[in-house]
Homo-oligomer: A and B are copies of this chain.
Amino acid sequence: MSGPSVRTVPDGDDRERLVCPDCGFIQYDNPRIVVGSVVTFEEQFLLCRREIEPRRGFWTVPAGYLELNETITEGAAREAFEEACARIEIERLLAVYNIPRLSQVQMFFRAHLPAPDFAAGPESQEVALFAWDDIPWDELAFPSVHWVLNHFRESEASGDHTVRTNPPGETGDMRKR
CB neighbours of A65 from chain B (8 A): 30
**Residue A67 contacts which of B15, B101, B162 (CB distance < 8 angstroms)?**
B15
CB neighbours of A161 from chain B (8 A): 162
Which residues of A, 20-34, contact B by the 8 Å Cβ criterion?
20, 22-27, 29-33
Q: Is A155 an interface residue (CB 8 A)?
A: no
Stoichiometry (number of copies): 2
A153 to B72, CA, bound (A): 24
Which residues of A, 33-56, contact B by the 8 Å Cβ criterion?
33
Once A31-B68, A163-B163 are accepted as A-B contacts, the answer to whether A96 and B107 lie under 8 Å apart by CB is: yes
Q: Is A158 an interface residue (CB 8 A)?
A: no
- Chain A residues within CB distance 8 Å of chain B: 1-4, 15, 20, 22-27, 29-33, 65-72, 74, 92-93, 96, 98, 100-101, 103, 105, 107, 161-163
